[in-house]
Amino acid sequence: MSTFNFARKEISFKIVYYGPALSGKTTSLRYIYSSLPGKVKGQFTSIATETERTLFFDFLPLELGSIKGFKIRLSLYTVPGQFIYKLTRKSVLRSTDGIIFVADSQRRKKEENIYSFNDMLENLEEYGESLSTIPLIFQYNKRDMEDIMSVEELQNTLNPENKYTYFETIALEGKGVLDALKAITKLVVAKI
């Protein structure tokens, strides 16, 4: 959850990028890092395997100006999508202020999207949280690939009640990535 540091006049928020393996979570953070000026971003930390797959998590701290005299800081994390890292995903999700669920639009990834979304819900529940208290944005990524699901199919699969905002993204090009970040930032800041 958000933390207030009254001595330093800072409010820190944690945003987690969640989704199946190779859906574009780390690519989204890399694009954000490359797009922002140096004065607002900290060190980008990524722990990856030899094949560049996220092993534990990626971390990117950002400073986004101030509200009522308090500096706003975001810490962006990704979770590893691979099945064997379930405990790491759960740990990274702890005390999050907002989630961007990065779904892979490729038709063959439908079941992985569903599994990952349900895994996220279960992990939140174990912490006594739910999407009724944690803001969520969907990033329907890889919209440039062949044989992708329509937005309507993705919505019916992951967001059937149309409760959550979504963005069509191409993380490699950065298309829609910053828009999704801005949207989740507004939601988490509005909570306080």
Residue 60 pLDDT greater than 50, yes or no: no
pLDDT at 121: 97
Residue 107 pLDDT greater than 60, yes or no: yes
pLDDT at 156: 98
Alpha carbons 177 and 35: distance in angstroms, whole number: 10
Q: 43 lies in which domain range?
A: 3-191
Alpha carbons 90 and 104: distance in angstroms, whole number: 20
The residue among 123, 127, 10 whose CA lies nearest residue 65 is: 10
With a CB cutoff of 8 Å and minimum separation 6, the contacts of 71 are 8, 9, 10, 11, 63, 65
Q: Supply the pTM of this predicted model.
A: 0.85
Mean pLDDT of the chain: 83
* Tally of structural domains, the chain: 1
Residues above pLDDT 90, as percent of the chain: 56
- Are the C-beta atoms of residues 164 and 123 closer than 8 Å to each other? no
- We report the CATH number of the domain holding residue 154 as 3.40.50.300
Residue 139 pLDDT greater than 70, yes or no: yes
User: Mean pLDDT throughout 55-65?
Assistant: 49
Rg (C-alpha) for the chain, rounded Å, is 16
